[in-house]
Amino acid sequence: MAKVFDWLSSRSKQSDKEPPLLLIGVGNPGEKYAGTRHNVGFMLIDLLGERARIRLNDKRKDTILGQGTIAGKSVVLAQPRTFVNKSGVAARYLTARFKAKPASMLILIDDLDLPVGKMRLRKSGGSGGHNGLNSINADLGTQEYPRLRIGIGRPIQGAIQHVLGGFSGDEATLLKETLEQAAVAVEAWVEHGTEYAMNHFN
């Protein structure tokens, strides 16, 4: 009888446990796209993994992920294995698997409308024309989730070539500094929430 009670108590504690926070970097999978402007979300996830010693070693059909803690809170770091315009497939899988609400998900994404060296955290909002956010909005049926936009600059023409291209030497140096700051902002988001992070890092 005591063993049954212990089992029921354990199940109750598990069900009461809060879902992890989901940190999802948007980008294109494969070596061909590594280091491109569209993949700054992947770069930030890699950096967060290094800082928190979280390995992305769990490969699923639609995403690769790793679980650990940041600021004492349970988190999942994820990089979709789909292309940018299908990012919603991974977001839907992750929210379902971990029983997490969209508000507990932070999307890390590139932004053409911000210059390299700038970032902006938002609580919710439209896609701004970004196909990754369009996909997430469609698959989750909401745009009420936070996102951290990292500037990649807008070219005069040739947006597709631009986002699939790399950074110049000066830009790469500036991006590295921005990603370091962005990692601190994400850690603050995990520990203190969206409003705090917006007030301190926007």
Catalytic residues: 38
Read off the amino acid at residue 192.
H
Dihedral (C-alpha) 28, 29, 30, 36: value to the nearest 10 degrees? Answer: 30
Instruction: Return the structure tokens found at 15.
Output: 């069900």
Q: Which helix (H) or strand (E) holds 107?
A: strand 105-111
Helix, coil or strand: residue 149: strand
Instruction: Return the structure tokens found at 191.
Output: 């520990």
DSSP 144: -
